[in-house]
Amino acid sequence: MHPTATTRPTITPGRIEEIAPEVDRLWQLILLDDNDHTYDYVIEMLGAVFGYSTEKAFALARIVDTQGRVTLMTASRDACEAKQTAVHAYGADPRLPQSKGSMSAILERLD
């Protein structure tokens, strides 16, 4: 039934309990490996977007290169989405002609 001028929606306590935990859940932003970006690009991008030191950015670049993915941060969904947007907006790697755009980063919810 849809609410009308004569009816009011009802909220059941069980439904509120289902929604509330979503707000407090943590998410991870995960960078995915590809062959279209150099280590220098990854290090510069992580420094610019996250403020990571060269050493930390290099360590993360090694992980994504060897393992195919690396967690960049764990935070609220909104915070992770904001950084994901920045990663996706960073642009192509000018060092590689085949680089056509930014690296890919995905969100995963922690359970």
9 in any annotated domain? no
CATH number at residue 46: 3.30.1390.10
Q: Once rounded to an integer, what is the mean pLDDT over residues 91-107?
A: 97
Residue 36 within any structural domain of the chain: yes
pLDDT given for residue 1 in this prediction: 47
Domain with 32 in it: 25-109
In-domain check, residue 4? no
Report residue 2's pLDDT band, with 50, 70 and 90 as the boundaries: very low
> Is residue 105 situated within a structural domain?
yes
pTM: 0.79
**Given a cut of 70, is residue 57 above it in pLDDT?**
yes
> Residue 81, exposed/middle/buried by CB under 10 A (0-12, 13-18, 19+)?
middle
Residue 14 lies inside a defined structural domain of this protein: no
Tell me the CA end-to-end span of the chain in Å, nearest whole number: 33
Question: For residue 8, is it within any domain?
Answer: no
Number of domains within the chain: 1
Q: Which tens digit of pLDDT belongs to each residue from 13-40?
A: 655 445 555 567 999 999 999 999 999 9
In a domain, 7, yes or no: no
Position 39 in a domain: yes
Cα separation of 74 and 93, whole Å? Answer: 26
